[in-house]
Amino acid sequence: MEHISTGSFRNCKSLRKIRLPESARYIYERAFNGCTALKSITVPAGVVSITKHAIGFSYEHGEMKRIAGFVLRGPPGSAAEAYAAQSGIAFEPV
């Protein structure tokens, strides 16, 4: 699986944990939007692109909001670290 498509896991409120495959390369907009029970994701080193609001956000009351306490994990210098910095999401290097 190279692509995690737009809205793939949208509003999966019971999703607490997920392991992304090493084959993942692209994570598209709102792929995990509204997954409010999901407090962290580890993004593999091979991911080269994560688009706007793909991870760590929830659309509530007409606006996009960061999920409180969410942490994005990934290799230093990766697309995950860049996405976290651009999105104002906590990042933890692994």
Segment 29-56, tens digit of pLDDT:
999 999 999 999 999 999 999 999 999 9
What's the mean per-residue pLDDT of the chain?
Answer: 95
Both tokens assigned to 59 = 């659309």
Residue with tokens 């498509």: 5
Stated pTM of the model: 0.92
For 85, the domain range is 3-93
- Helix (H), strand (E) counts: the chain: 1, 8
How many domains does the chain contain in total? 1
pLDDT above 90: residue 3: yes
The partner residues of 3 in beta bridges, in order of sequence, read 26
